[in-house]
Structure 1
Amino acid sequence: MCTTNRKRCSRRATSVGFPSVAGGIHRQLFAALLCLWLALAGVHAHAAGTPGSTIDISSAEATLEPDGLPAQRRWVQLPFRWDHEFPGLGGKATYRIDLPAAAVPGDEPAALLMSGAGNQVAISFNDALVASFGTLGVPKHDATKSNLLVPVPAVLHRTGQPQSLVVRTTIQRQRGAGLASVQYGTEASLAALYRDRQSWRNTSAIVYAVSLLLMGGIAGGLWLRQRDALYGCFALAALSGVARNLDRVWPDVPIPWPLWGAVVAVCYACHIGLIARFVLLVLERNPPWLVRSIHAALALSVTLACASFAFARPSLWTAGLVVLQLTSIVCLPYVVYGALVDRRRIAGVLMAAGTLAILAGAHDLLLVRMGLFGGADFTLTAHAMFFFVMILAGLVVERYSRTVADYRALNTNLAARVAEREDQLRSAFETVRQQNQEQAVLLERQRIMREIHDGVGSQLVGLLNVVTQAKPDRAVIEEHVKLALDEMRMAVDSLQPTHDDLPTVLATLRYRLQPRLDAAGIELVWDVEVIPPLEPFAARAALQLQRILLEAFTNVLKHAAATRIVMHASWHGDETPSLVRIVLTDNGRGLPTAPPGGGHRGHGIANMHARAQSIGARLQIETVDPATGGARMQLDWPCARA
């Protein structure tokens, strides 16, 4: 276990709506300790009482046969503890009891009640076997772990004569065997007493075992998540305490004796030692010498427990219990100091629980195990140690309340900081939005200026050159004016929102060119297939596409002498990458041959290729048929589907 000192919390745990949660928990724990201790005293007092219709048997004639020693026959007082008479030895014992004739109940059924006998028991009444618990000589069953109620059939009673009761037992070493108190009377009165004793004896052990298992599991889970030594220590202490409580009510343990006895003793030593360590962790007082002393005492007591059962020396385990008791007593001053000097409520609760545990341990060690001061046949340590389960539950609730309060304060602080940050981000976002809007307006203005300069401006410059000639050609002037108007119209069209609709862009171009084609007597076949919505494309891309098609139509009007133009547009999503294909075909004279000497045909086709390259498209212009003429322009424009 970790022995590092942890910082003490500097403020009390409070929660909204639950002021002083820690104080309330501590008061409840004090009240629970007092009530449970009073209940213990009351139950044992009630169990010790005997109904008036029964008789108590205080002595018996015993034949004792310890292993390796001569048999003895003598009178013994009940309850009789075999381990006190023959420590470290097993054997056999037969108890003979003569019941007076007056002890026979009237017309009511009779019964025997034994607080414990064994380890294996066979009971005879007037030479007739009436009950057996386990098989004599077979150590699998232990009858000492429960009260024994034995109904006696009425036919076995001898009217007016003493009744003979014989109890035969077999004993395993260090198993707490013997013969406890024996009562004889009416079955109704003894059955009620049996139920009270059995309920207290079995129910309390089962409740303690389940509670330790549950709280040990919870503490273990908390340790896995938080790695807090306090939770880890209690988890080990609680789980090791389960074995001792189960042993009190489990008569048929599958593990052979004395191995099971060693397991229970080791678990009990770990339970006591780790509870002492748990108390120091709760107080957050971990003096190194005391921590090392607890670890050494725990290791020593475990070693003594194993050696005791291995070598049949009960005194070794008794020495281990003394070591654990002294260790608990050494830890008590630190608890008292925390309660009386530091005024810590949890220290007060631990002082009460620790004092009860030490007193219960002294009772079990001196009276039950050693048989001093008249002895006792019931233990108290299991009841006293259960208080620490309640203390851990209170600590978990207290820490949870403190954590909830801390989280609420943290959430409030975070909410305020988030709101402040949101205001800052909102202001920054508004500033960026305005800057982006201004930037977009500026870029669009610059684009329009470039388009007007490159398109309309170049046409007007050409028109100016023609006009300044001595004899300007009217047809040339008209052509330049029309081209300038087309450039102006396309620039205006590029400003209209098309919503990335390519058919609309093409339809707008058709609307602008249709009058010129009609005037030239050229038939336009418009074949545009269904094109799905495309990913957004820039206005500049739409304008470049219109200029490529405008140049193609202008070349047909000026040079092809065609009478028919077919415009076909289609979507090719199965190709990689997907693309829009636009094909323009005329029935004119075709492309002119290249000039001699490798000269250029003109700047129109070169400009078309440059514009296609600027939007990532591939342009191909060719003659349809060298014999019949005709030209075809194919534009493949890669586009992604929306």
Structure 2
Amino acid sequence: MHDRHWIASRARVAAHRRLSPSGLALWGLLCACLLALVCCLPVRAAESAAAAPAEIHPWVALPLGQVTELPEACLLADLQPGLPPGDAAPWLHVHLPHRWKDTHAGFEGSMWYRFRITLPAAPDAPWAVYLPRVVMNAQVWVNGVALDYTGSMADPVTRHWYVPLLFSVPANLWKPGENIVHVRVASGYQARNGLAPIQIGPVDTVATVYKHRKWAQVDGVQIAHVAMISLGLVMVIVWLRDRAQSAFGFMGASALFWGLSTLMMISPTPLTDLLVWERLSFTATVWYQLALTAFFFRFTERPWPWVDRLVVTMALLVPAYYLFFPRFEITAAIYALIYGMALTGMVAAIGHVLRTRRPDGAWLVLGCALVVPAGAHDVMVQLGSLPFDSVYWLPLAGPSMIACSFMILAGDYARSRQALADLNASLASRVAEREQALRESFERLAALESAQAVSAERSRILKDMHDGVGAHLTSALRQLQGPPDTPVDVPLVTQTLRDSLDHLKLSIDAMSLQPGDVVGLLASWRFRLTPRLKAAGLELVWDVDDLPSWPPGQTPVLRQVQYILFEGLSNVLQHSGATRLVLSARVFDDHLRLSLIDNGRGWHTSPKASGHGLQTMQGRASLIGARLEFLVPAQGGLELRLSLPRTARQPGPALSSAA
């Protein structure tokens, strides 16, 4: 029991001592900075020891065919610029790399460096003098002959402080034995003036070393920072289109200002006055650091109002300070404050990644792991803890960090697009299911509508038979069942039964008519009723043009037309006493005109006072949108004129055909 309590107690202590994700991230960064410091301090100590002056500057023997580094020189301030000073001048023996502040603090102007070398023989090919680092610009003399140089040695001095220089020396300038090489260095605005060890040797071999260093310090940095500016523009555009991505908006702004400040820093020739150029470069540097700080705090997805206010305030005040009151101590303190804010935000962002296991968060950790040691290295170069001619790491690590941040943004949008694609696929699947369900529903509705249409058609046929055939049969039955003392009017009963039979035949014919076939309707009407007309002594004249298809002429509509003509013929047979009947059909622009013209007695009363049959005809005509007229021709008789409009109209419910 005692052992169990002791183990539990030790577990609780271990749990309390366990670091949080933010603590782990902080310890990692501190260890990286400490490692960089430990690695660099011995170099500084060795450099300081090597910088001790010697009383005699020895001659250095240069073997032919090899590149030799010259770490010692004689130094003389150039008080009156002109030709290289002679041996009688008060030369000072120094070790390279040499900073002016170590021997001539506060001196501005130009400085002579003298190198004494011996050659076993004169080279038969051009040699070169290579200056890895000179601040700001340099001119080389070999045995009293000046070599061509790049830029300006007078105010404003060309800013070659981070550009390696290569001077080609013709073979005839060298001589066997003793040779003197002078390097005149011109200072510039706010420059850490000095010279790194130079190298002399065959031009082909030296040029290879020069190209590699120039790529690392100038060409590669320019390409990397142009790419970084491009990535920054992309991230800013993403932020402008999606304001929820404010963190990456700040990272894009940081990339833009970072790239501009670095390109301005390494540019040999400013586009403006040198003082204005330096202030613009400083402002861009401050702004990219503040934007980077804002990115880290926004990346945590937590509100930091005091950080936003501090970043905005410093972004406005620091450039104004540097414009009017530039002091090195205050500037260094401002940089330290901004670096501290950026490191704090970096720790918070890495803690957020570890705590939430954010997707693609490893890219942020990788970018920070590249930038922190690089930043520590460059600060040590600035402070003099590393050799004067060290290559700055941050111009190469910065684009890597921006690329890592862009990978996070790209991962977010890739996951968003994948989620959108999955959602679209899910929606497409659901829509397909709904479409299938709707299709099945429509098929059921179509089947139901078809059944209803069949039922409606059956009901309509039954109604027509009831109102037409049934009415005639009922009339015939009444005629046969008259009073016992009244004889049956056989001709009238016969006529009624014939009407019923004709009505039935026409109803059957109407069921097989093609939609819009008015000529077929008239031909059927003529075929069925011609025998009856002949039996009644009535001549039928066919005067029908070749009619086009009638768009509104669906089967129910054609049936209404058929019934109207049938009722008209019944009236002619029963009331007109005519001997001749003309069936006419004409086509006009807006309607078709169908006419029944007889030569009978015509109207003895007003059509409005007509019986039930004529009212049914008017109702049917109105139902299909047609116009029914009863006209009296000049030669006498009566014309039934039916005008059919050539525009579609849905038919209404069927009407009775009983006359």
Shift of 1:356: 4.3
Pairing of 1:444-463 with structure 2 (within 5 A) = 444-463=457-476
Task: Indicate the residue corresponding to 1:12 in structure 2.
Answer: none
Q: Find the residue that maps to 2:161 and give its secondary structure.
A: helix
Compared with structure 1, are the counterparts of its residues 554 and 178 closer, same or farther at alpha carbon in structure 2 (3 Å cutoff)?
A: farther
Cα shift readout 1:551-594 (whole Å, capped 9, x = no counterpart): 3334444516243514123152xxxxxx4322325361463343
Compared with structure 1, are the counterparts of its residues 177 and 584 closer, same or farther at alpha carbon in structure 2 (3 Å cutoff)?
A: farther
| Percent of residue pairs identical | 22
Tell me which moved more, 77-86 or 474-483: 77-86
What code does the residue aligned with 1:365 have?
A: V
Distance 2:283 2:340 in 1: 17
Task: Indicate the residue corresponding to 1:638 in structure 2.
Answer: 645
Pairing of 1:108-127 with structure 2 (within 5 A) = 108-117=125-134, 119=136, 121-127=138-144
Q: In the alignment, is the contact (CA less than 8 A) between 2:133 and 2:164 conserved in 1?
A: yes
Shift of 1:197: 0.9
What code does the residue aligned with 1:531 have?
A: P
What code does the residue aligned with 1:53 have?
A: V
Q: In the alignment, is the contact (CA less than 8 A) between 1:120 and 1:137 conserved in 2?
A: no
Task: Indicate the residue corresponding to 1:357 in structure 2.
Answer: 371
Quick check: 1:495 aligned with 2:493? no
Compared with structure 1, are the counterparts of its residues 541 and 150 closer, same or farther at alpha carbon in structure 2 (3 Å cutoff)?
A: same
Residue number among 97, 103, 106 corresponding to 2:123 in the alignment: 106
Task: Indicate the residue corresponding to 1:467 in structure 2.
Answer: 480
Shift of 1:542: 1.5
Task: Indicate the residue corresponding to 2:342 in structure 1.
Answer: 328
Task: Indicate the residue corresponding to 2:295 in structure 1.
Answer: 278
Compared with structure 1, are the counterparts of its residues 307 and 281 closer, same or farther at alpha carbon in structure 2 (3 Å cutoff)?
A: closer
Q: Find the residue that maps to 1:144 and give its secondary structure.
A: coil
What code does the residue aligned with 2:522 have?
A: L
Pairing of 1:374-393 with structure 2 (within 5 A) = 375=388, 377-393=390-406
What code does the residue aligned with 2:620 have?
A: R
What code does the residue aligned with 1:198 have?
A: K
Quick check: 1:611 aligned with 2:620? yes
Quick check: 1:131 aligned with 2:145? no
Distance 1:73 1:468 in 2: 161
Quote the RMSD (CA, aligned, Å).
4.2
Task: Indicate the residue corresponding to 2:190 in structure 1.
Answer: 174
Quick check: 1:586 aligned with 2:597? yes
Task: Indicate the residue corresponding to 2:631 in structure 1.
Answer: 622
Residue number among 240, 246, 253 corresponding to 1:236 in the alignment: 253
Q: In the alignment, is the contact (CA less than 8 A) between 2:133 and 2:161 conserved in 1?
A: yes
Shift of 1:617: 1.1
Shift of 1:294: 7.1
Q: Find the residue that maps to 1:633 and give its secondary structure.
A: strand
What code does the residue aligned with 1:621 have?
A: F
Task: Indicate the residue corresponding to 2:502 in structure 1.
Answer: 486
Compared with structure 1, are the counterparts of its residues 316 and 181 closer, same or farther at alpha carbon in structure 2 (3 Å cutoff)?
A: farther
Shift of 1:188: 1.8
TM-score (normalizing by structure 1): 0.76
Shift of 1:158: 5.4
Pairing of 1:558-569 with structure 2 (within 5 A) = 558=574, 559=576, 561-563=578-580, 565-569=582-586
Shift of 1:110: 1.6
Distance 2:645 2:609 in 1: 29
Task: Indicate the residue corresponding to 2:17 in structure 1.
Answer: none
Compared with structure 1, are the counterparts of its residues 336 and 632 closer, same or farther at alpha carbon in structure 2 (3 Å cutoff)?
A: closer
Q: Which runs of 5+ in 2 are unaligned?
A: 1-31, 48-61, 81-88, 650-659
Q: In the alignment, is the contact (CA less than 8 A) between 1:54 and 1:186 conserved in 2?
A: no
Distance 1:133 1:490 in 2: 112
Compared with structure 1, are the counterparts of its residues 203 and 594 closer, same or farther at alpha carbon in structure 2 (3 Å cutoff)?
A: same
Distance 2:639 2:191 in 1: 111
Task: Indicate the residue corresponding to 1:600 in structure 2.
Answer: 609
Distance 2:216 2:400 in 1: 17
Cα shift readout 1:316-367 (whole Å, capped 9, x = no counterpart): 4322221122223334554675688888896666455435423322332242
Compared with structure 1, are the counterparts of its residues 220 and 125 closer, same or farther at alpha carbon in structure 2 (3 Å cutoff)?
A: same
Q: Find the residue that maps to 2:632 and give its secondary structure.
A: strand
Tell me which moved more, 243-252 or 231-240: 243-252
Count of residue pairs the alignment pairs up: 576
Q: In the alignment, is the contact (CA less than 8 A) between 2:582 and 2:596 conserved in 1?
A: yes
Quick check: 1:191 aligned with 2:198? no
Shift of 1:550: 2.0
Distance 1:552 1:513 in 2: 12
Residue number among 238, 254, 273 corresponding to 2:271 in the alignment: 254
Distance 1:258 1:581 in 2: 96
TM-score (normalizing by structure 2): 0.74
What code does the residue aligned with 1:313 have?
A: R
Q: In the alignment, is the contact (CA less than 8 A) between 1:530 and 1:571 conserved in 2?
A: no
Shift of 1:235: 1.7
Pairing of 1:275-314 with structure 2 (within 5 A) = 275-282=292-299, 284=300, 286=302, 288=304, 292-293=306-307, 296=310, 299-300=313-314, 303-308=317-322, 310-314=324-328
Tell me which moved more, 582-591 or 449-458: 582-591
What code does the residue aligned with 2:271 have?
A: P
Cα shift readout 1:97-131 (whole Å, capped 9, x = no counterpart): 24434398522212121224454555444554422
Q: In the alignment, is the contact (CA less than 8 A) between 1:211 and 1:389 conserved in 2?
A: no
Q: In the alignment, is the contact (CA less than 8 A) between 2:139 and 2:149 conserved in 1?
A: yes
What code does the residue aligned with 2:77 have?
A: T
Q: Which runs of 5+ in 1 are unaligned?
A: 1-32, 67-71, 573-578
Task: Indicate the residue corresponding to 2:77 in structure 1.
Answer: 63
Q: Find the residue that maps to 1:392 and give its secondary structure.
A: helix
Shift of 1:521: 4.9
Q: Find the residue that maps to 1:132 and give its secondary structure.
A: coil
What code does the residue aligned with 1:616 have?
A: G
Q: In the alignment, is the contact (CA less than 8 A) between 1:205 and 1:248 conserved in 2?
A: no
Residue number among 161, 171, 186 corresponding to 1:144 in the alignment: 161
Q: Find the residue that maps to 1:108 and give its secondary structure.
A: coil
Distance 1:587 1:86 in 2: 136
Task: Indicate the residue corresponding to 2:566 in structure 1.
Answer: 550
Q: Find the residue that maps to 1:143 and give its secondary structure.
A: coil
What code does the residue aligned with 2:641 have?
A: Q
What code does the residue aligned with 2:254 have?
A: A
Compared with structure 1, are the counterparts of its residues 609 and 424 closer, same or farther at alpha carbon in structure 2 (3 Å cutoff)?
A: closer
* Structure number with bigger Rg: 2
Distance 2:140 2:569 in 1: 124
Task: Indicate the residue corresponding to 1:11 in structure 2.
Answer: none
Distance 2:602 2:320 in 1: 110
Q: In the alignment, is the contact (CA less than 8 A) between 1:556 and 1:562 conserved in 2?
A: no
Pairing of 1:90-101 with structure 2 (within 5 A) = 92-101=109-118
Cα shift readout 1:238-291 (whole Å, capped 9, x = no counterpart): 222221342355434434433332333233233333334434444x36473xx6
Q: Find the residue that maps to 2:609 and give its secondary structure.
A: coil
